[in-house]
Amino acid sequence: MSSEVLLVSAPGKVILHGEHAVVHGKVALAVAVNLRTFLRLQPHSNGKVCLDLPNIGIKRVWDVARLQLQDTSFLEQGDASAPTAELVEKLKEVAAFPKDCADPERAAVLAFLYLYLCICRKQRTLPSLDMRVWSELPTGAGLGSSAAYSVCVASALLTACEEIPNPLKDGEPASRWTVEDLELINKWAFQGERVIHGNPSGVDNAVSVWGGALRYQQGKISLLKRLPALRILLTNTKVPRSTKALVAGVRSRLLKFPEIVAPVLTSIDAISLECERMLGEMVAAPAPEHYLVLEELIDMNQHHLNALGVGHASLDQLCRVTMAHGLHSKLTGAGGGGCGITLLRPDLEQSVVEAVKQALSSCGFDCWETSIGAPGISVHAAASLDAPVRQALDGL
């Protein structure tokens, strides 16, 4: 077990195009968004394992000796096969939850325990450590916050247990692992996601591990080679929604009006492919006309998503407010509220961006100015992190 303090971070994700259509075998484009989850792992010799999640107000401590005595033979198959419902029930016994513990809190704790017990059980004794995770990502907004968490936990534990080397060299601000090591991180992060979500697609953890952008179609994930730097506004309407209900709504509309809805899904697929082609062209020499095409694609896709029945008054309001300033927006993810993205052209005056952010805030929305195509899971030197992040990780 390594004795060094580890600092890692992983990005969230947004769906650029293809949400809902992807359920019906079409292409979706997912991109890493530069709102990140940060993790600090501090090895100890105090016989305790501490998990601290300040964003959701959780702090749990276990005795290593007690965990060591637990029968964890149920994890024997943990390397390759999915965490079963039975396994998750047994993890709950190990976790010893208090009565008033809410579901998201339980899920985060169970994913940590699963990864800790599976990855660290190859050590002679289970290690004592403090783990603190702090995120810029809101939870439950469809921005891949649970995947970023699983990716950070898996990478930190694999590195601390010396299953993979720490790639950070002296004097470097940040570094990334080799492709082979990233594949191992991704494998374990996906298992963590399965503990949290049951049957995830694997897109969120893949985006968080690799960064940049990827296309997803019928279970197949492929990375886009390079991505131009694109600035966006990411807006959370804070309107809660049920992804399951929205997906079911699209399915029933497709069954009711197949001749109408099937072409809409095909058209969304064409939008995703055209966007992918346009992004490829922009890598070499981005031109103003490229941005005009991206804006048109955003507008058309938003209308299609409304036609599928996954729009919402809050998202209409977002589109109206940004359009009043000449900007183009669409929902991202499940719709029915949730989040939207707005493309920021490079020639845009900062005063316009500030005015839009102000207008969106006055609608009661949360708004972040950020970029897409962010780097995936990275390890950092402490000095390279912004002061607020360092303070959050130090618990100040």
| Catalytic residue numbers, as ranges | 146, 204
What's the CA gap between 224 and 298, in Å, rounded? 19
Output the CA torsion sign for 373, 205, 267, 239.
negative
Task: Identify any residues that bridge with 50 across adjacent strands, giving them in sequence order.
Answer: 61, 130
Q: Residue 29 carries which DSSP code?
A: E
The DSSP-derived string for 215-264 is: EEETTEEEE-S----EEEEEEE------HHHHHHHHHHHHHH-HHHHHHH
Q: DSSP 3-state assignment of 149?
A: helix
What's the CA gap between 64 and 43, in Å, rounded? 13
Give the dihedral of Cα atoms 106, 82, 202, 301; nearest 10 deg.
-80
Residue with tokens 């990411």: 234
